[in-house]
Structure 1
Amino acid sequence: MLFLKRPPAAPLRPLVMGYWFIEDLQGAHAGKPIDTTPSPAAVLTINFGRPCGSEFAAGAPRTSLLGVQSRPRAWSSGEGCSFVMVMLKPAGLARLFPATGLAASDELLELGAVLGDGPARRLADDLAAAWEPHRVAARLDAWLLGRLAATKPAEEFERFARAWDALRRTSRVEAAARAVAVSTRQLERWFRDHVGHSPRRLLALDRIHSSLLAAQTGQGDAFEGFSDQAHQVRMWRRYLGRTPGRFSRTPRSLLADYFNPAREDVPQGLAHFF
């Protein structure tokens, strides 16, 4: 199997965490479960080979947009699997794919349903022709920058992004609303429109993801944001379907080992795989 991470171009970094490449042409991972975690991230996926199977109604389209997920998801790999994932921050989903947050929430959308079949097919064909990861990353940079220039942001986008930063910093919806001079009801509407979840739900996903990332990497505080250990255990069970104790006794997947090594800087990490 081949795993690779590449960073996006500098202008995209406020919106995109990175490009993750996974290839299993020989089917070494076939039949083994692939479990992904809930998190505030969204994922644009382009398949070069046979797509992985999924539990979603859309199945495994050649190009897809996975919205913000509030629970774990199961996938299945097979021979000929090869794809790249564009890991989007909440602001990236809102800016690059406006008005899709609610439809993509806890869902997998065919990219053709978002962009139109022609643009989605041309993107997939262009990236497949590039083939080498560094060339694919360069073409993704160009495509995303082009989309950034061509797509008009929602009028409230900048305030939505600032509100999310304030919410992460203060953990209070009221403080986030005051920071951008809107009511909490208006802020609720913005979050549902842009990421498909309420501010409190997105904050809970951010906290549980940070706790899992700290547990995976051994860096950071796995208890940060929780009132006590019992609170942490309840939240892990609710969102991850397992307790910290069970997690510590379960072998990590190859994907988690590569994409979240213990040496990784926690603020830049993403615990996408168990």
Structure 2
Amino acid sequence: MTRDGGLEQTRPTGRDRARGLVSSRASGRRVEARTYAPPKDLQDLVEGFWIGAWDLRGQPPHTTELIGDPAIHLCFEAGTGRIVGVWTHLWIRTLEGRGRVRAVKLRPGAARAFLPGPASAYSDRITPLEQVFDATRALIASVLEPTEERAFGALAAWLRAQRRDDEDVARAVKLVASLRGSGLNRVDALARRAGLSVRSLQRLFRDHVGASPKQVMRWVRLQEVALRVEAGEVIELASLAYQLGYADQAHLARDFRAVTGKTPRGFEASIDRLPGGPLQPGDRGPKPAP
């Protein structure tokens, strides 16, 4: 998104689908999803704007399942605005009928730049926006405008007005971003990297992320497992377990099942049963909606 309101569409973070989606590839076919880059002056704290839309009239309801993500979303739907906090377990939502959501995804660690109180106060909760901010009716009406440019332009302006820059916010955002692809799986190692004591690191994550460092490390690894399996890239789970810092293949499988209810191979088999079978290496899957 440019400063003057023009929208720049981006690819979802999970190879053309939501990162950590474990319900099925059908989730990418029954829900239209688009993501947009935030304005440049918000990119350090905002990961992006997104839209989800569905029309299941005359069809069975559809359940979407996502591995928890250490990010807070502000979601606008059906005349309401809600703060969706960091989810520390599997996110499950059943969609039916017809609907549309417009939302902004904050960067993990950026919560206190825009929201009052510690990020942990919003964890595992969906909080009505009007419980936290005054005079939200105009914002909600603007974000639900017919045109996406005007809707996200209004949301960007509101975020600028709320923004509070802070060294700890910047530190938290940087630390969480550094975990992806790092192979780190020990809290004490992350604390040393940050130059903090373990207790100070835990307090930083509680206040600015909304989850513990251990939980965030776990999500990063499990999301990577889901992405690799869904993309058809996993041949040897033992090798993947080693790459991601698990003790062994059994440890990886237990951890994945504890969160998703299925093992990596069980998830792979559920993909195989879908029309079209699993994605092949290099196949980016269904394209984002235009």
Give me the TM-score of the superposition, normalised by structure 1.
0.74
Alpha-carbon distance, 1:28 to partner: 5.7
Give the equivalent residue in structure 1 for 2:195.
181
Contact (CA 8 Å) 1:35, 1:75: kept in 2 or not? yes
Give the equivalent residue in structure 1 for 2:7.
none
Structure 2: any 5+ residue segments left out of the alignment?
A: 1-30, 286-290
Percentage identity across paired residues of the two chains: 27
Give the equivalent residue in structure 1 for 2:261.
241
Distance 1:14 1:219 in 2: 31
Give me the TM-score of the superposition, normalised by structure 2.
0.71
* Amino acid aligned to 1:246: G
Aligned length: 241
Q: Which secondary structure state, in structure 2, belongs to the residue aligned with residue 206 of structure 1?
A: helix
Distance 2:186 2:248 in 1: 18
Answering whether residue 135 of structure 2 is matched by residue 127 of structure 1, we say no
Contact (CA 8 Å) 1:166, 1:176: kept in 2 or not? no
For residues 187-206 of structure 1, the aligned pairs below 5 Å read 187-206=201-220
For residues 78-89 of structure 1, the aligned pairs below 5 Å read 78-89=96-107
CA 1:222–1:135 in 2, change beyond 3 Å: closer, same or farther?
Answer: farther
Structure 1: any 5+ residue segments left out of the alignment?
A: 50-61, 265-274
CA 1:177–1:76 in 2, change beyond 3 Å: closer, same or farther?
Answer: same
Give the equivalent residue in structure 1 for 2:121.
103
Q: Which secondary structure state, in structure 2, belongs to the residue aligned with residue 182 of structure 1?
A: coil
* Amino acid aligned to 1:113: Q
Alpha-carbon distance, 1:7 to partner: 1.9
| C-alpha RMSD over aligned residues | 3.1
Distance 1:165 1:114 in 2: 27
Q: Which secondary structure state, in structure 2, belongs to the residue aligned with residue 20 of structure 1?
A: strand
* Amino acid aligned to 2:155: L
Contact (CA 8 Å) 1:27, 1:77: kept in 2 or not? no
CA 1:217–1:64 in 2, change beyond 3 Å: closer, same or farther?
Answer: farther
CA 1:180–1:246 in 2, change beyond 3 Å: closer, same or farther?
Answer: closer
Q: 1:67 aligns with which of 78, 85, 90?
A: 85
Alpha-carbon distance, 1:193 to partner: 1.7
User: Which structure shows the bigger proportion of residues in helix conformation?
Assistant: 1
Answering whether residue 45 of structure 2 is matched by residue 15 of structure 1, we say yes
Distance 2:58 2:44 in 1: 35
